[in-house]
Amino acid sequence: MPASRAQVDLREVADLHENILRWYSRHARALPWRDAETTPWGVFVSEVMAQQTPVARVEPVWLSWMQRWPTPAHLAAESPGEVVRAWGRLGYPRRALRLREAAVAIVEVHDGRVPADEETLRTLPGVGAYTAAAVAAFAFGRRTTVVDTNVRRVLARLVEGREQAAPALTAAESALAASVVPADAPTSATWNVAVMELGALVCKARAPQCEQCPVLERCAWVQSGRPAHEGPVRRGQAWHGTDRQVRGAVLQLLRDAPRALSRTALADAGPDAAQLDRCIASLIEDGLVEPVAGTRFRLPH
């Protein structure tokens, strides 16, 4: 039978802590925002950028941003269009606007300093439960519970004996994650990132590297014979031919252009005229594109 949450006693939790934290100390990726000299603002930027985006794509953009806008005040003083342009191909470009809006709020409400507690962090534009917990933990060493898809998958396999987590975060998953967080605040912050790293590098959604797992002998999923997932699976989003692809193509054309472009100049962004018009309209509504005299378009000023 798969392990249940009730079966994770204090002794087992202590063993998980020891083995996973030791593994992390040896195998953690040397990401720039993990450097001890990184400011809370640098951590904040990294967490916003890394949502639904591979770390390999985030790193060069993060380095560029931190050189250009090393503090919230620097970003708050920049135009929205330049922020969208610098976001490049990270995807979900509304995050760029929300990040700038958060910088403005940090400057105007918090004297230019990133808040340290989750409740206050969640008042910032675009900041939800995950980002608030991650910044509190990784920038300030606060004891909290950081739950992303990697953490959910690791705990589903390790503790509950399930190959995959639920399609969306459940209250039970949140409670399970909270129940295994170390009591000591600094250790808890390292634990949160260590479990995330284990999911990213070893306990992958597809082709998990079980032989490299530091807690293989305690994995309920492995012990039960690695049963296949029987429930619904969170599906990846389609890309080719979608409005997301066309919106991205429109933004890239505008990023590359020295001046506003006509509707005709944007025609290459999508083969379907109605879809292109719909995407331009949605970009305007989202504040990512600005019409000029009704016939030309540019990034927002």
Note the pLDDT tens digit of each residue in 195-237. Answer: 999 999 999 999 999 999 999 999 999 999 999 887 765 565 6
Expressed in percent and rounded to 5, the helix, strand and coil fractions of the chain are 55, 5, 40
| Sheet (strand 261-262) strand order | 261-262, 296-298, 290-292
Largest CA distance in the chain: 68
CA dihedral 91, 95, 96, 102 (to 10 degrees): -170
Average pLDDT of the chain is 93
Report the pLDDT averaged over residues 171-198: 96
**% of the chain with per-residue pLDDT over 90:** 87
CATH code for the domain defined by 243-298:
1.10.10
**pLDDT score recorded for residue 4:** 44
- Domain range annotation of the chain: 243-298
Among the listed residues 12, 47, 108, 118, the single catalytic one is 47
Q: How many CA within 13 A on the CB side of residue 57? A: 11
Taking the alpha carbons at both ends of the chain, their separation in whole angstroms is 59
Q: Is 47 a known active-site residue?
A: yes
